Structure 1
């Protein structure tokens, strides 16, 4: 491989990297701006190079390159291979005489080569592949989902396993190249690599969306789609794996069931407006708070909690403040006639002698994430509606699924990773792709 690169330099061949991207900005503390990858480098740029200048002698025993198959045209005997060492993508033709084999040395047809597969490619002096053989050192992991992507360190965590990806790692969905930021928890993946490096990711089963309406009777309840469980919120848009699911929605003794079919990158609609909400109901909440001199505010109003408090059914926002303790905030749901809520505030270590808390300090508290583009799109964070862009939501660390929805455009999701650091963040996502009228479907059946 070093020999090949040296020859390329001697010939004056220009090497262009596969990924060149239009970036969105990520700003911390409102002072400086830097680019993150891939949460910001959403747009792909591709340069496919001719293979003429890297021909080998026909008797060469070493592969000309080890590449990821990114494109296959069996009608015209053409492949595109991305060299994993240099990051250059080459147009590699082949012929009926090309020796094509799997990594297990089994002869296969050209149509059996897999996009995202890693191959040893031997190129003869005529500029065609004399052999394309599955790389014997490459591994493959199937049926992978819910990966954690660390954009800053190009690290992927799968359960207890930690792997790394490259700037030029190939990510495919339906045969098309996508950015790694478009992978969400609901996608089913095939990963391929060598050693600790991932060189290709193939989305074998993608995701679609379920848009809910008419939820007045179930506000504060829960909805399940397959194995996913969500709190019911107004105007919710759920990202779901493709497939047909029974959707169950419930609030206390009121429940409803419908069937929905989720198609890749399409939005299915579920309307529950036929269920009429009951008259306003109230529940009694008995608060048990430590320390007992903490100040409690509910929905922005300070309240006396020495006696049980009557609250309307639904969501409420509470805050607790007390000297020498960390401020406590929570959104809770009242959906029963009586409940006891126990809250133990955490000492901040000032004014008293305490043991060090093992709880991770949340450095994101009090900061915001500002989304500036695409303007006019509805923003959802982990299926919960936030607002119309430009808009802002509270910053919290971890992976977030960002979903963008706009009339006349294809709904799209991105995964962003927010680190546990101080400072506000600003994101701008690419322009959305126009959609045909068929991309929005109503595929719900009431049971």
Structure 2
């Protein structure tokens, strides 16, 4: 009888344990589902920022054969150590070296450790004690200098440089000075060195970075245009913040007959403020037309007068006849109507003056929402949008996302939006405290995520 009761109790306990396990599994699945539904619409382009690396110090070889091929990510001259990211596994190794380590470039030229290129790709030979016996530049690697204007597709890990298409790894080393950054933090204004093997990019080094130009006091200039050197031409909007290349440039602003110019110096990660509040309202209605013509070098005349269209052409409001002639092309003729302060006119002479069909806009009516970092001010292609969380109207193409907040470093990201239907949601990493240096210059006057269905929530947005 006692044995039977014990058996019953054991049976009951087993059933309770099974029920408990089933309950735990149910709750965990429910939690995952809830979490997935909550995060399912979140696209985090900043998620590829390299985390604090877990460095593996335990690697040994025979000293005669390459132990691994890796990207030089850090040099510690005082400790006689280097760090390399293995291009095959993504593991970051800390490798000691000595004065006896044989260091050569890819062409067999002996080099000192101090002359090695951070971001360079090397074959590393580690001995049985774990020290570098030889470090040779990889003969299979390639390098491209002074690269700018790259397009990054984080969803497929593709990089486009002009007509060249390559891929990158999640652990591709991206460097800006002594800092490891996300590949999404590369913007059009950066100049960089890119290294890889075959069609894969394993390192990107920013050689000339970017800063920021804050433009204020533009009430009389809004709707006109601003040019920064000969590299950037933008429409002027209220409270704009321009991501600009490092260097000294002449900044020109124009809205009709109003114009002003000045020289500014943009420093890396610093903000220079330009105030145009002294510029008065323009009584004359004129617009600036920025012509983009194929082929380059075609001769243009407007209303019978030959013009130089290498910079925006100022025209009075109303209709104007445009003519273009070029060798081996049919003469192009078109009447344009100028009714805004600034517009870009694209002309392809192969169309012989007729309009060409364009791809349907599948983004119309959809929004891009930015949910993080909360409290930061959002700019899209230099235009002020609002304080995060906020949204803007969706349009396809490459966008420069700039986030600014008092007491934190201003930061820019590049995203590419496909010409597809559906809303998008982006969440960027939290801001880093410190704040950027800001200078003020006086003006001279004048001389991924799956797309979601249309949201029923109506928000105040701006079109980009």
Count of residue pairs brought into register by the alignment: 350
Structure 2, unmatched stretches of 5+, are: 1-36, 288-316, 318-337, 346-355, 448-464
Name the CA distance, whole Å, in 2 between partners of 1:141 and 1:36.
30
- Is the CA contact 1:268–1:444 (under 8 Å) kept in the aligned structure 2? no
Report deviation, 1:433: 1.5
Structure with larger Rg: 2
- Is the CA contact 1:211–1:269 (under 8 Å) kept in the aligned structure 2? yes
CA RMSD across the alignment: 2.6
Report deviation, 1:276: 2.1
Is structure 2 residue 60 aligned with structure 1 residue 55? yes
Is structure 2 residue 219 aligned with structure 1 residue 240? no
- Is the CA contact 1:260–1:445 (under 8 Å) kept in the aligned structure 2? no
Match of 1:119 among 113, 117, 122: 122
Name the CA distance, whole Å, in 2 between partners of 1:120 and 1:139.
14
Provide the residue aligned with 1:379 in structure 2.
Answer: 378
Partner secondary structure for residue 41 of structure 1: helix
Name the CA distance, whole Å, in 2 between partners of 1:68 and 1:283.
55
Is structure 2 residue 73 aligned with structure 1 residue 67? no
Report deviation, 1:409: 1.6
| Structure with the higher fraction of residues in helix conformation | 2
**TM-score normalised by the chain length of structure 1:** 0.73
**TM-score normalised by the chain length of structure 2:** 0.71
CA 1:333–1:63 in 2, change beyond 3 Å: closer, same or farther?
farther
Provide the residue aligned with 2:47 in structure 1.
Answer: 41
Name the CA distance, whole Å, in 2 between partners of 1:272 and 1:49.
51
Name the CA distance, whole Å, in 2 between partners of 1:443 and 1:122.
53
CA 1:397–1:145 in 2, change beyond 3 Å: closer, same or farther?
same
Provide the residue aligned with 1:192 in structure 2.
Answer: 195
Name the CA distance, whole Å, in 2 between partners of 1:413 and 1:261.
19
- Is the CA contact 2:373–2:427 (under 8 Å) kept in the aligned structure 1? yes
Provide the residue aligned with 1:230 in structure 2.
Answer: 234
Report deviation, 1:435: 2.3
- Is the CA contact 2:380–2:401 (under 8 Å) kept in the aligned structure 1? yes
CA 1:283–1:73 in 2, change beyond 3 Å: closer, same or farther?
closer
Partner secondary structure for residue 220 of structure 1: coil
Provide the residue aligned with 2:437 in structure 1.
Answer: 439
Post-superposition CA distance 1:150-203 (Å, at most 9, x none): 111111111111111011100000121000010001000100000000000001
Provide the residue aligned with 2:450 in structure 1.
Answer: none
Provide the residue aligned with 1:270 in structure 2.
Answer: 274
Name the CA distance, whole Å, in 1 between partners of 2:171 and 2:242.
31
Is structure 2 residue 153 aligned with structure 1 residue 146? no
- Is the CA contact 1:261–1:444 (under 8 Å) kept in the aligned structure 2? no
Is structure 2 residue 87 aligned with structure 1 residue 84? yes
Name the CA distance, whole Å, in 1 between partners of 2:140 and 2:441.
45
Greater alpha carbon shift after TM alignment, 192-201 vs 251-260: 251-260
Structure 1, unmatched stretches of 5+, are: 1-29, 285-312, 314-331, 342-356
